[in-house]
Amino acid sequence: MLGGEDFSAFARCAPATYIFIGSGSNGNDYPHHHPKFGLDENSFTIALQMMIDVAKNSARFRKN
């Protein structure tokens, strides 16, 4: 089962959002699990801020 298919099963049970966060770096086109795959660690900061924003906003919507 692929990740999207897993997600659809979870989303049937509760409100849900699927977010894809890229983490590649310029000039590095190798896929995950490839020995030359490179990760731009700056993507962690971007992803963390996005998750914080989602958590803050979802808490606000749950009050309504």
CA 51-55-61 angle, to 5 degrees, is 140
Q: Strands, DSSP E only, in 1-64?
A: none
Domain count, the chain: 1
With a CB cutoff of 8 Å and minimum separation 6, the contacts of 16 are 7, 10
pLDDT of residue 24: 72
Annotate 45-61 with b (16+ C-beta within 10 A) or e (fewer): eeeeeeeeeeeeeeeee
What pLDDT digit, counting tens, does each position of 7-64 carry? 888 888 988 888 888 777 777 778 878 898 888 888 899 999 999 998 888 877 666 5
pLDDT: is 3 or 28 the higher one?
28
| Residue 9 falls inside a structural domain | no
pLDDT of residue 1: 47
| Residue 50 falls inside a structural domain | yes
| Residue 56 falls inside a structural domain | yes
pLDDT of residue 45: 93
| Residue 8 falls inside a structural domain | no
| Residue 46 falls inside a structural domain | yes
